[in-house]
Amino acid sequence: MTNPIPKHIAIIMDGNGRWAKRRFLPRIEGHRAGGKSVRRVVEAARELGIRYLTLYAFSTENWTRPEDEISGLMKLFIEYLRGELPNLVKNKVRLRTIGQKNRFSNEIQLMIDEAENQTKEGAELDLILALSYGGRQEIIDAVNLAIKNGKPVTEESFRRYLYAPDVPDPELLIRTSDELRISNFLLWQSAYTEFVYSPVLWPDFDKDEFIRCIDEYRDRERRFGGSEWVSSSHG
Ligand code: FPP
Domain range list for the chain: 8-218
Q: What is the pLDDT of residues 161-206, one digit of tens each?
A: 999 999 999 999 999 999 999 999 999 999 999 999 999 999 999 9
pTM score, whole prediction: 0.95
Q: Which residues of 195-213 are buried (b: 16+ CB within 10 A; e: fewer)?
A: bbbbebbbbbbeeebbeeb
3-state secondary structure labels for all residues of 14-35: CCHHHHHHHCCCCHHHHHHHHH
> Cβ-count burial of 43 within 10 angstroms (0-12 exposed, 13-18 middle, 19+ buried)?
middle
- Nearest atom within ligand 1 for CA of residue 30: 18
Q: pLDDT tier at 99 (50, 70, 90 boundaries)?
A: very high
The ligand 1 site (C-beta within 6 Å) comprises: 13-18, 31, 34-35, 38, 57, 62, 76-77, 80, 129, 202
- CA of 162 from ligand 1 middle (Å) equals 24
169 annotated active-site: no
The yes or no reply on domain 8-218 and CATH 3.40.640.10 is no
Mutate to test the pocket of ligand 1, among 12, 14, 22, 29 (most ligand atoms within 8 A of CB): 14
